[in-house]
Chain A
Amino acid sequence: MTTLQTAQDAQFAATARTASGRTGRGAAARAARRLAGGSTRLVLLAVALFWLLPTVGLLLSSLRGPMDIQSSGWWTVLTKPAQLTLHNYTNLLDNSTITQSFLNSLLITVPATLLVVVVGSLAGYVFAWVEFPGRDWVFLLIVGLLVVPLQVALVPITSLFGEIGIFGSIVSVVLFHVAFGLPFAIFLLRNFFAGIPRELLEAARLDGAGELWLFVRVVVPLGGPAIASLGIFQFLWVWNDMLVALIFADPGSAPLTVALQQQTRQFGTNIDVLSSGAFLSMIIPLVVFFAFQRQFVNGVMAGALK
């Protein structure tokens, strides 16, 4: 398995080990370094708190009643914790637009992720292990497509989807996300699959295994880490998207991001809805992020230059 680790994987493992084995020379140097270390710790602690502050502000805002939000800042909670209430969240769950959009977010994100993984792995396998004329040129084209801004496609795809009658539906949003997720998926998986030892595949082929069997029983299991990274990356990407859904989804199929975006127009009067809604939209990404940090980081690192 170790040979299958991608370069990013190895790099990430190395970061996890962090800097070790620094040996200070001389007591004075050590003391000076410890002093400097103290201020480093303080600075980083301040930075960490500073980085957390905006999110904490949102969380505490979402836990205060509309009256309190209108009259004072979220930090007053620190002195008057009695303000804390789940009122906004119970309200949110009674709001059928929000609950429907949450459901829509799932209905868009899950298929868009699965499809990218399946279609991308099939193509990645072919580019890695099946020879056909012009293969390298097609693959280079796909590498070129990595950075194409999706904004380029919004206008033409609007009319294309309109003509085939799926504009406004969840299907249209899913298809768009799959198409724009594919270059990265193919790029990542092809590179990973190409690292599978040739002997493994050749041996299976000699045993008379067909391509489909090879793909399902050898390539996919061995490609697990890369497929997981891709899946998580794509899941978060689609879940967090607003622009694509803003254009292709009609009100009935709008995901949470779009439903909340509509609310930002009256920003100031509805912070109770917005703050709790924003936090609701963050829960799934944050759970995914904390549960699969490694895969996510690997996906992000592989996606550099996307």
Chain B
Amino acid sequence: MSRTLSPPSPAAPAAAGAPARRARPPLGRAWIAAFFLLPALILLGALVVYPIVWSAIRSLFGPDGFTDFVGLSNYTGVFTDHQTLVALKNNAIWVVVAPVVATGLGLIFAVLTERIRWGTAFKLVVFMPMAISMLAAGIIFRLVYDQDPGKGVANAVATGVHDTFFKASAYPGAHPRVAGAGSGTLAGPVGGPYTSKPVRPGSGPAALALVGVQPSTLTDATQAASPSGCPQGALCGTVWLDFQPGGGTPGKIDPGEKSLAGVRVEAVRDGHVVATATAAKDGTFALPASRIGAAPLQLRLPATNFTAQYAGVNWLGPTLVTWSIIGAYVWMWTGFAMVLIAAGLAGIPRELLEAARVDGAREWQVFRRITVPLLAPVLGVVLVTLVINVLKIFDLVYVIAPGASQQDANVLALQLYLSSFGGGNDQGTGSALAVLLLALVAPAMFLNIKRFRKEKSR
């Protein structure tokens, strides 16, 4: 830089090192500024500012356009229409739940990842969903929430857990004959338990005949058999499907009739279960003599054999759909909260935490009394960002909610889309919703401006 050779500019301070007086811009600068700014200002003016003004005015007119002045009735409509009220209620749930859960998890993850060596890898995994589209996330969670436990992983887990605690029912709908030949061995209310008449151990095999199951569904079952080699004093019997295509003799094990393997049989005396057995592959069971004694007892097939199969949780049904979609959102945005909070955490002086630990503070106290208060500004920024983001939520709801429960999952941005474009064709209401949405984010707008002015004056 050949400073000495260049002509001294009148705007430059005469003496080097003198306190730099603000240089007066040369006359041409204003033109340059205008030229540089023009594209941005035109785009912002035409596509951002103008629409705000237009929407504010349009919201005072009815569906037919600017000839149809209706005053504020679009706004009163918003607060009385059932659909928009559902949307408002759901938006309230979203705003309260989603940011808090995402920030809370983000805080926990950020604090915990500081203690592991693969913290960066962990952050990468949790942050990754931020990079993909809400559409892709929506498809991912449609798969997760699939109603069929054979396909949707959420219900596979739900039914798995359920069946661990409540034994899976083998034969929903199976029941004894209630009338005619073959009836009377077993009786009980519909759905079980079904109890037999008193039988005396050693008096011969018990024939526990059931009907009400399609033979074709018993693909793994074998031919039912009479118990053979029953030990002395034991009570043996067979549980089987007393029906075959073409009929068969009621109450008798005919060739072709299938076993009901896996059915639980209880021996009951005076209301107490004294022994239990499970029907074997050929439907036979044996209650050991040592447990049942010699006195007469009743055989009972408990209702757990016959309850309808647990179908899992209806994640995308009317009651849960909003919560399920919030779950997908939390999956996407927890990484955002975590990364910002981790950055804030890195700014906290370690000595402060160490000093507290040396003074005997437990980890929880350090977290609660020092870390969280020091992080308060970051937590505030994260929460506000997420609230603004959640207010505008559209894609996830639109993609995940199935048509049947779309109304139950409705949110403001979706309702705006539906009333303006999705068949509603009422731009007046759409504009009122747009203004409402803008009003809801307005506090954040002023917060931004205030924050910026404060930064500048520092």
Contact = CB atoms under 8 A, between A and B. Distances in A.
Interface of A: 8, 11-12, 14-19, 21-23, 25, 36-37, 40-41, 43-44, 47-48, 51-55, 57-58, 61, 69, 71-75, 119-120, 122-123, 125-126, 130-132, 138, 140, 142-157, 160, 175-176, 178-180, 182-183, 186, 198, 202-203, 205-208, 210-212, 215, 236, 239-243, 247, 257, 260-261, 264-265, 267-268, 271, 274-275, 278-279, 281-282, 285-286, 288-289, 293, 296-297, 300-301, 304-306
Interface string B417-431: 100110000010011
Contacts of A15: 339, 342-343, 345-346
Contacts of A305: 381, 384-385, 388, 444, 447-448, 451
A120 B381 CA distance: 24
B135 A257 contact: yes
A123 B35 CA distance: 9
B126 interface: yes
A148 B441 contact: yes
Interface residues of B, number: 119
B33, B46, B402 interface centre (most CB from chain A within 10 Å): B33
Given A23-B354, A51-B125, A300-B130, 5 more contacts: A51-B331, A72-B151, A140-B453, A242-B134, A300-B336
B43 A182 contact: yes
A282 B132 contact: yes
A97 to B, nearest CB: 15
A14 B141 contact: no
B343 A11 contact: yes
Given A149-B438, A182-B44, A8 B343 contact: yes
Contacts of A58: 136, 139-140, 143
Given A156-B58, A301-B339, A267 B331 contact: no
Interface SS majority for chain B: helix
Interface stretch (B167-175, B301-309, B390-398): B390-398
Contacts of A140: 449, 452-453
Nearest to A241: B133
Contacts of B430: 155
A206 B12 contact: yes
Contact of B135 (A61, A122, A212, A261): A261
A25 B358 contact: yes
A267 B50 CA distance: 39
Given A152-B434, A186-B40, A304-B382, A144 B416 contact: no
A123 B342 contact: no
B39 to A, nearest CB: 5
Interface in B43-75: 43-44, 46-52, 54-55, 58
Interface string B67-103: 0000000000000000000000000000000000000
B280 to A, nearest CB: 27
B387 to A, nearest CB: 10
Nearest to B433: A151
A140 B445 CA distance: 10
A186 B40 CA distance: 9
B114 interface: yes
Contacts of B381: 304-305
B417 to A, nearest CB: 7
A285 B133 CA distance: 8
B44 A156 contact: no
10 contacts: A15-B343, A18-B114, A36-B363, A44-B113, A57-B140, A126-B37, A147-B445, A151-B417, A206-B12, A210-B32
B133 A242 contact: yes
B29 A21 contact: no
B178 to A, nearest CB: 37
Contacts of B210: none
A242 B449 CA distance: 29
B445 A144 contact: yes
A155 B143 contact: no
A65 to B, nearest CB: 14
Contacts of B344: 11
10 A-B pairs with least C-beta separation:
A240-B133, A179-B47, A153-B51, A289-B131, A14-B346, A123-B40, A156-B54, A156-B51, A11-B343, A19-B114
B331 A16 contact: no
B75 to A, nearest CB: 15
A115 to B, nearest CB: 8
B39, B51, B385, B438 interface centre (most CB from chain A within 10 Å): B51
A186 B382 CA distance: 21
A58 B431 CA distance: 38
Contacts of A268: 146
Contact of A55 (B51, B128, B427): B128
B112 A73 contact: no
A131 B25 contact: yes
A306 B449 contact: no
Nearest to A232: B131
B352 interface: no
Contacts of A274: 139
Contacts of A264: 138-139, 142, 399
A153 B140 CA distance: 29
B82 to A, nearest CB: 21
B18 interface: no
A54 B385 contact: no
A282 B452 CA distance: 35
B86 to A, nearest CB: 18
A173 to B, nearest CB: 12
Interface in B342-393: 342-347, 350, 354, 357-358, 363, 381-382, 384-385, 388, 391-392
Contacts of B209: none
A203 B233 CA distance: 110
Given A202-B12, A206-B9, A286-B128, A17 B441 contact: no
Contacts of A72: 150-151
Contact of B37 (A19, A122, A146, A278): A122
A146 B447 CA distance: 11
Given A122-B37, A144-B449, A305-B448, A131 B29 contact: yes
Contacts of B385: 304-306
B382 to A, nearest CB: 7
Contact of A126 (B36, B46, B143, B398): B36
B3 interface: yes
B453 to A, nearest CB: 7
Contacts of A153: 47-48, 51-52, 55
Contacts of B179: none
Contact of A207 (B6, B120, B150, B448): B6
Contact of A285 (B1, B23, B132, B417): B132
A207 B12 CA distance: 12
B313 interface: no
A122 B143 contact: no
A187 B18 CA distance: 32
